[in-house]
Structure formats: C-alpha cells, structure tokens
Amino acid sequence: MATPELDRIDRKILDVLQRNARVPLTELAQEVGLSASPVSERVRRLERSGVITGYHAHVNPQALGRPLLVFVELTLSSKSGELFQKLRDELLHEPRVLECHLVSGHFDYLIKARLSAMSEYRELLAQILRKIPVPAQSNSYVVMEEIKEGLALPLDLS
C-alpha cells in the first residue's frame, strides 16, 4: 500500500482498465506495446499495491427502478465524534446511499442517493434522522439532468 512509482506503461494500463475492466490481457498488452506476461505482472502489482481497488460493473439505474437521483446536505446541531460515528455507520449500511462525504463549509455531510420516487426520499431521510439523537437540518437537491457520472481519473499518458 506504499505509493509505488507509476511509469508510462502503468498509467496506460490504468487508463485502459478504467474504460474497460474486462479487456483481454492480450489486447491490453497490444495497446501498451508489451507481451502478455509482463502486463499480467503489472496488473497484479497494481492490484496488490492498492492502486487498483476493484473492478465494477456499471448498471443503469433506470433499469433497476431508481430513476431519482438526490443530493442531501446535512447539518448536525451537535458535532460530537460519537454522533458522527453513529451517522457514518447508518449511511455505510444503507445501500440506497451511493456516496457520503464529510465536508467543510456551510454544512457537515453531503449525501448522494438513488431512489425509486420522492416518497422513498421522505422515508430515507426520516430513517436517517431517526438514528441521530440531536436536531439536524437538511437541504435536498433533485437532479433534473445527469450530465456526467463516473469515477475515472485523468492520466498523464506522455
């Protein structure tokens, strides 16, 4: 997990795998200009060193009946570490919550959730607030159009 040096070939491998995690090793090898065996070793090294943290299928939310994307800004009236831990646990185990971040600024948490309908939003928010024993303030933002969504990071291929 120590930060390893990433050379040009490693970065190219990451670039390809970010776009298509199921590309055959032989094809990946062609794209980076090596034979299959060193590429296999490099991929394994990137996995073991924690540079690649996983391979995930991306599924269309509409197909699973979750057309609603909502962001919630949450502010807690008390900011004890114990309280934050309680909320963290609740959000981690709630699969409708795709993202959750502790932020600096006008509120404490930014939460991203995919839901079936607005009725589910009210239900989810009530469920979260029920778990924390102090008043909390929330602002929600319903996404009208998804311009872009992904996790792929830019790579310098020079």
| Residue ranges that bind its own copies, judged by CB under 8 A | 3-4, 6, 14, 17-22, 49-64, 66, 69, 71, 88, 91-92, 95-107, 109-110, 114, 139-155
Sequence-separated (6 or more) residues with CB below 8 Å from residue 113: 69, 70, 72, 96, 97, 98, 121, 124
Q: Is 38 in the site for DNA (CB under 7 A)?
A: yes
42 contact, one of its own copies, DNA, none, CB 5-8 Å limit per kind? DNA
Tokens of 108: 């404490």
Distance in angstroms (rounded) separating the CA atoms of residues 37 and 41: 6
Distance in angstroms (rounded) separating the CA atoms of residues 15 and 7: 12
- For the bound state, the minimum distance from the C-beta of residue 66 to DNA, rounded and expressed in Å, comes to 25
Closest CB to its own copies among residues 38, 45: 45
Binding interface with DNA (CB under 7 A): 9, 24-27, 33-38, 40-42
